[in-house]
Structure formats: C-alpha cells, structure tokens
Structure 1
Amino acid sequence: MAQNDVNIQGSPRSVLAGATIGFFIGAGSVSLYGPTAHIFVQAMHLSPTQIGWLVGMPMLTGALLRIPFGASVDHNGGRVPFLVLLVASLVGIAGLYWMLLTLYPNHLDAHSYPYLLALGALAGSGIATFSVGVGQVSYWYPRKKQGEALAVFGGLGDSSPGFVALILPSVILMTGLWSGYLFSLAMIILGILLYYFLGKNAPYFQYIHHMEKNAAIDHAKANGEELFPTGGVWHSLSLSASHWRTWPLVGLYFTNFGGFLALTVWLPTFWESYYHTKTMTAVILTASFSLLAAFIRVWGGALADREGGEKIAIISLTILLGGAVIMTLSQTFWLTVIGEFLVGAGMGINNGAVFKLVPHYVPDAVGGASGWVGGLGCLGGFAVPPLLGGFVDRFGTQGYPLGYSVYIGLAVVSLLLVWILVRTRDHVAGGHSISPMH
C-alpha cells in the first residue's frame, strides 16, 4: 500500500471515549466481592483477614498485569492487549457466575474459598486495562493536553467501582446472588464490543505497518502526534525503570489509587461491622466515596495542567492526611463520614496529578513507566485490605478505625516523595531537562 493511501482510523476524542468505556467496564471487577462480602461471610464463616484477602484478590492480577501490558503499548499501540485483558476478565466472571449458579446457597462453604480467590484473580485482569489505556491515550494527545485527557480517562473509568458498589447489591437483592454476577458478565461483554469499535491505535502504530520507522514518525507528526516509542516491551520497562523518578511516582500511586481501591472494597465491611449500619447505607457511603474520588480526579488533572503536578500533589496529600487522622481517631459516625470524604477527595485529586507527571518525567518510555506506576501502585488495593483486617483480628472491633493509621503513614511518606521530586525537578533525568510544570 502506498504511504498516502493509509487511512488513519480513530481520533483523539473517539479513542479517549473507547479507552474510558473499556477501562470503566474492566475496573468494575475491583468491586467484585466488596459489596457482597457479608453474603460470603454468612455462607462460608470467613474471618476479617480472609475477607481482606478475598476483596483484595482481584487487584493482584490487575496490578501485576499492568506492568508488562502497559509496557507493551510502546510496541503495539495498546489495542490488542486491551482486548486480551477484557476477555480474560470475562472468563473469570463467567467462571464465578457458573460456580455460584451451581453451589449457592447450599453448597458454598469453606472449601469454595480457594476457587473464589482464583476466579477473582482472573476477573481482576480487567483493571489492568488502565496502564494500557494511559499509554494509548498519551500517544494520541499532545503533551499540553495530556493531564486533562488522562484525568478524564482515569476519573470516569475509576467511577466504575462506585457504580458497581451501588448497583450490584441492588441487583442481588432483587434477583439473587448468581444473577448479580450475570449482570456483571453482560456488562463486560458490552465493554468489549464498544472498545473494539472505538479503541484504535495512535497514527504512528497504524503507519508503521505500511512504511519504515522514520517515515511513520514523519507522517504521525503531521497528524499531530508528539510522543513516539523508543523500543520494545522490555526495553521500555528497563528504560523507564532506569529513570529514578519513576519510583516516587509508583509510591504516590500506591498510596492514592491502591489506597482508593482498598477502601472501595473494605468500607462496606467497616460501616456494617463498626457502626452497624444497614447494608444499603454502607453501600451508599462506599459508592459516594468511590464516585467522589473518581470524578474529582478529572478536576485534579485540569488543576495539574494549570498549576503544576507537584503543587497539586502536595495539596491533595495534605487533604488525605487530614482525613486519615479523622477516620483513625473518630468515634462519631458523621465525623467519620467527613473523614472518608476528605480521604476520597485527596486521593482523587492526587491521582489526576500523578499521571500528568508520568509523560513529563519519562517521555521516552511512557508505556513502561505507566506499567510500573499503574501496576505496582495498584498493588495497594491488594496489600492494604488484609492489613486492615489484621488490625481487627489483633485489636477487636476497635481495630476498624485504628486500621486507618495505615493511611496516615502512607500520606506522610508520599509527601516526602513529592518533596524529593520538587527539590530535584530542575536536574537532568535520563537526558531530559525537567522544569517546573506550569
């Protein structure tokens, strides 16, 4: 095919829409067990620590798969790995649906626990679409618009756990446990179809199939593309790992996105067990937290574009720290609610700022950096719930609020990491001059 005959498919807006929809559907698996934890506790007699492992399990594969799949975007543009992850999640949810259809309620017991963990891990693959989408969207948008575009992608996509936490218990209440997961199955099939039609690779990755690399870059530049990969998957991972600033960003994302995921699945248990709220009240409080953190992330990205990512990170982490202190010390329902919302707001704004910093600090390996940051950062959603459950096992009921001291520590460490970035941002990182982001 002649170079001039290459017909570029997609546009920045359509791809942003497709990636956001795909991530929205895939990220719903983060709430696979959280809103229904009380049902499994009743049927299987699980301990608080076992609950923590169960609700956190979808984050394990979702986190680890973000690393290689995010890096693969620098090689293939993102479309294929995005679809692979959604299909893997589909298989996990289908297996869970079949298991519950055949075992619940009479035969779901302690022996079923390992199978629930395994299916949750597979279903969690959908969350890994985040790091793929970050790279895919970054290649479509110019640097000056990436903060807002990535905040829209991450913020609207992150709202999925909140909606799932709100809708899934309602569906289960009306139609039964197994049918609730049938609804989840139908939603991910819809997500796969929509992404298939909208989620196209950036111009460079379309041109490269029809011409040599330099010509593909020239043609892609003519289409407005500014970022270009420098190597394959492992090259991108190793290159981004060699940028030391990748690792403070990992720490920030562990605290804010991983911490957000952990609370999304833990809060229903907290509200019902500590304040003895009704199930629907716990669901509404959790969904409100999740949706606040998700939607305010869009505003956080816009603020980072205008005011600078580091500045917004410091402000948001201070808000998170204040909310965590309140949740740890409070013995009053409404004061704890205020603390929860402060934590959600701080996390959401910071998440919008972090991914503004990724293409700025690691411009020659965006996919690899997105994989490290999104993958290892997401591990917070897997690691923190068992810690929160451990506080309850150790201190009894009072361990529920004391567990939030984990977030005080994470917030303080994250503030230190941002301070390090600010102190060194004028230095040369990996051959690229880093200047204040304004």
Structure 2
Amino acid sequence: MKLSPGQVGFLVAIPMLTGSLLRIPFGAWVDNNGGKLPFLILLVLSVIGIAGLWWMLITLYPEHLTQSYYPLLLFFGALGGCGIATFSVGIGQVSYWFPKQRQGWALGTYAGLGNTSPGLVALILPLIIAFWGLWAAYMVSIAIVVLGVALYFLLSHNAGYFQLRAQGLSREDARRTAGSAGQELFPQDNAFRTLVEAARQWQTWPLVLLYFTTFGGFLALTAWLATYWQTYFHTTHWTAVELTAGFSLLSSLIRVPGGGWADRLGGEKVAVASLTLLLIGALLMTFSGTFVLSIAGEICIAIGMGVNNAAVFCMLPRYVPDAVGGASGWVGGLGALGGFAVPPLLGQFVSWFGPSGYAWGFSVYIGLALASIALTGVLIAALKREQRKQPTAKPSKASA
C-alpha cells in the first residue's frame, strides 16, 4: 500500500487503542447485567472486523489494495480490536462468582490462560502464512473466534445475583438470596455510578499504574522483543520469534499460580516481590549488553509482569469492593494503554542513541517498576492505617 511509517504505526496500534478504551465502559456495564451480553457484543464486533480484513485480502490484495482503502482498513482493524476489551468484562463476570479469598486464583487462571494467545499466535501464525498464505491466517482467526462465541454463548452464565435480577427480583431480594447461596461481591445499581465510584476511590489509581507497568508493558514487549533480538543481537528471525513467544507464554502462564500466591500471601506482598523481579530484569537488559544475561533479564521481566498482573486483580475487589466492574474497567482499560504508549518510547531511545538505544529503552521499565513499588508501599501503609482504626472486639464475660 506504500504506507508511511506513521501510517503503519497507527494501523498496528488501532486495535490496541479500541481494545483498551472500550474496556472502561464495557467493564462497568458488567455491574448492570453480569457480563454475558457485553462480552458477546464485543466478540461479535471482533468477528465482523476480522471478517472484513479477510474480505479485503481475498478481493483486493495485492493489486488493488491501494492507499484509498486505508480508512476502511483502519475501521476493520478497530472492530477487530473490540475482542481485546472482553478482558475487563470477563474480570468482572468471573469476580462475582468467587468469594473474596479466592479472587487471586480465579482471576489469575482466567487471565493467565486467556493471555497465552499472543505467544501461541507468534509461533503458529507465521507457519500458517508460510504454507497457506495471509488470507488463510485470517480465515483461521475467524474460525477460532466464531467457535469461541458459540462456546461462550452455550456455557457461560452470570453470577447468581444477576440471574435473580433477570427473573424480576428486586435488588434487595436478589442480594439477600444470592448472599445466602454464597455470593460475596455485589455491584452498584448502574454502570455510570460504578465508574464514578471507582474513580473516586484513590486506591483505583495506584492499581492502574501497576497494571500499566506490567500488563501494558507485557503487550508492548510482545510487539517489541522480536525487533530487539534481531536488531540488537542479530539473531535469526526464528530465534527472535521463539524468544518473544517464550516471553509471552511464560508471562501468561505464571499468572495462574501467581493468583494463588496472592491469595495466600497477600496481593501487596506478591506485588512488591514481582515488581522487584521486574526491576532486576530491566536492569539486566539495560546494562548487561550480553546475550545470555539479557535472556535472564527477559525471564525475570516475564515472571515479574505475570505475577504482578495476578496480584493487581487479587487486590482490586479488596480495595474497591462496591464497584468491581467499574474498577476493572479503569484498571484494565487505562492499564492496557501501556501497549499503545510504551513502544513509541522504546523507539525514541533508538532514535536518540542508535543501536544501543535498544538496550537503553529498558530504562523505561526501571522507572515504571520503581514508581509501582513506591505506590504499592502507599497501598500497604494505607491498609495498615485502616486496620489500626478498626476497634478490637472485647471478649465477652462468658468467653473470659
């Protein structure tokens, strides 16, 4: 299409932009209806977007795909990105099903297994393109998402409170009935209010930065690492692909046990430990300059990011219990913007320093890790203050 670098950059970023920003309203909408309807809407929009891209490939590519079709390409790319926004919807839907002490495990499993797709795609997609062509890769993507829509429609259910509300019970009766059946988390009564309520609670915003650092940072590195390995260390294409896919899969899968660690040890402690590991990895990749130590740094960053992502959503229902959907929308939406904002910063270091800028760019993660550790310390201090304010129960005469 003879696009400029700026046009290419915006084209690559547009699905991440829509997928990030739509997390905010759709995440809040969960508090109105439990999540199934907004999840399905986002998936269907994603199918339309991917199908549109596939149609453009089979009808226009390569002779007729000119710059005049660039706006249409952006439009279908933006629709395809809607599927990314299902993350915050699923966080809210899953969260209402589980008691507070199991939030870390439940959300870690949901997010950890769900986030393996970038790593799997990095390995599988080039093989499909090599054997069957670019159009086949989009056809496979359509088939996967359509199957996902069908399975989700058949198997997914909203938590008990939302099922009772759909049957016509009042909020009070539904809350009482669902509470007697074991549900512990309940929503505000409308989407806008839950967004406002979550935004008013200052604890939401440190969690946004923590998630920006580790999930937004994860998305940014998934897109950046292949270029980093090939350009800075002159690896082969497949070595760069394997290292990038390994990073993505490790960071995603470690999120599953990371949620359990956060449940047992406390989200704050796990967050500090994982962010410290991220800091060590960023220091290695910035200053080591050697291939082996940089691989060790990548592993540290992958583990640190994955575990901290689980810790954040373990802490979220604890700090914002009355607006989980709204808070997950803010955290998931603004946090994921790191995948849109960080790559240009990494590229700017290359512009400033030349090839060595590929290493110096990881200083961005040093700064983000330090700021996130400091804000986690603020959350811990606030929690201790609240615990000191709570009156200690006096023993009754009988127990004495």
State whether TM-score is above 0.5.
Answer: yes
Task: State the shift of 1:45 in Å.
Answer: 6.6
Aligned match of 1:279 in 217, 231, 237? 237
Larger Rg: 2
Corresponding letter in the other structure for 2:59: T
Q: Does 1:305 align with 2:263?
A: yes
Unmatched tracts of structure 2, length 5 or more? 391-400
**Number of corresponding residues:** 388
Aligned match of 2:289 in 300, 316, 331? 331
Report which stretch shifted further, 283-292 or 96-105: 96-105
Aligned match of 2:180 in 222, 225, 228? 222
Aligned equivalents of 2:169 and 2:143: distance in 1?
40
Aligned equivalents of 2:386 and 2:7: distance in 1?
46
- After TM superposition, the structure 1 = structure 2 runs for residues 141-290 of structure 1, keeping only pairs within 5 Å, are 141-209=98-166, 210-290=168-248
- After TM superposition, the structure 1 = structure 2 runs for residues 340-355 of structure 1, keeping only pairs within 5 Å, are 340-355=298-313
2:273 paired residue number: 315
Aligned equivalents of 2:88 and 2:378: distance in 1?
24
**Secondary structure of 1:192's match?**
helix
- Work out the percentage of aligned pairs sharing the same amino acid: 58
Q: TM-score, normalised by structure 2?
A: 0.92
2:394 paired residue number: none
2:369 paired residue number: 411
Cα-Cα RMSD? 2.0
1:99 paired residue number: 56
Task: State the shift of 1:350 in Å.
Answer: 0.4
Task: State the shift of 1:333 in Å.
Answer: 2.2
Q: Does 1:422 align with 2:377?
A: no
Report which stretch shifted further, 361-370 or 160-169: 160-169
Q: Does 1:373 align with 2:331?
A: yes
Aligned equivalents of 1:385 and 1:275: distance in 2?
19
2:23 paired residue number: 66
Unmatched tracts of structure 1, length 5 or more? 1-42, 434-438
**Secondary structure of 1:331's match?**
coil
Q: TM-score, normalised by structure 1?
A: 0.84
Corresponding letter in the other structure for 1:250: V
- After TM superposition, the structure 1 = structure 2 runs for residues 30-45 of structure 1, keeping only pairs within 5 Å, are 44=2
Aligned equivalents of 1:113 and 1:281: distance in 2?
32
1:20 paired residue number: none
Q: What do residues 378-398 of structure 1 show as CA deviations (whole Å, max 9, x unaligned)?
A: 110111112222323333322
Corresponding letter in the other structure for 1:141: F
Aligned equivalents of 1:412 and 1:107: distance in 2?
50
Aligned equivalents of 2:267 and 2:203: distance in 1?
14
C-alpha change, 1:99 and 1:274, in structure 2 (3 Å) is farther
1:133 paired residue number: 90
Task: State the shift of 1:121 in Å.
Answer: 2.5
Aligned equivalents of 2:222 and 2:379: distance in 1?
29
Aligned equivalents of 1:191 and 1:216: distance in 2?
30
Alpha carbons 1:139, 1:202 under 8 Å: kept: yes
2:396 paired residue number: none
Q: What do residues 218-272 of structure 1 show as CA deviations (whole Å, max 9, x unaligned)?
A: 2212322111112200000001111100000000000000100111112222223
Aligned equivalents of 1:311 and 1:89: distance in 2?
37
Aligned equivalents of 1:169 and 1:392: distance in 2?
27
Corresponding letter in the other structure for 2:152: Y
**Secondary structure of 2:115's match?**
helix
Aligned match of 1:389 in 347, 362, 370? 347
C-alpha change, 1:178 and 1:275, in structure 2 (3 Å) is farther
Aligned equivalents of 1:395 and 1:103: distance in 2?
40
Task: State the shift of 1:75 in Å.
Answer: 0.5
2:357 paired residue number: 399
Task: State the shift of 1:279 in Å.
Answer: 2.3
Report which stretch shifted further, 311-320 or 336-345: 336-345
C-alpha change, 1:203 and 1:427, in structure 2 (3 Å) is same
Corresponding letter in the other structure for 1:302: G
Corresponding letter in the other structure for 1:254: F
Aligned match of 1:358 in 308, 313, 316? 316
Corresponding letter in the other structure for 1:413: A
**Secondary structure of 1:208's match?**
helix
Aligned equivalents of 2:123 and 2:58: distance in 1?
22
Q: What do residues 253-306 of structure 1 show as CA deviations (whole Å, max 9, x unaligned)?
A: 000001001111122222233333232222211110001000101111111111
Alpha carbons 1:56, 1:265 under 8 Å: kept: no
C-alpha change, 1:385 and 1:112, in structure 2 (3 Å) is farther
Alpha carbons 1:246, 1:369 under 8 Å: kept: yes
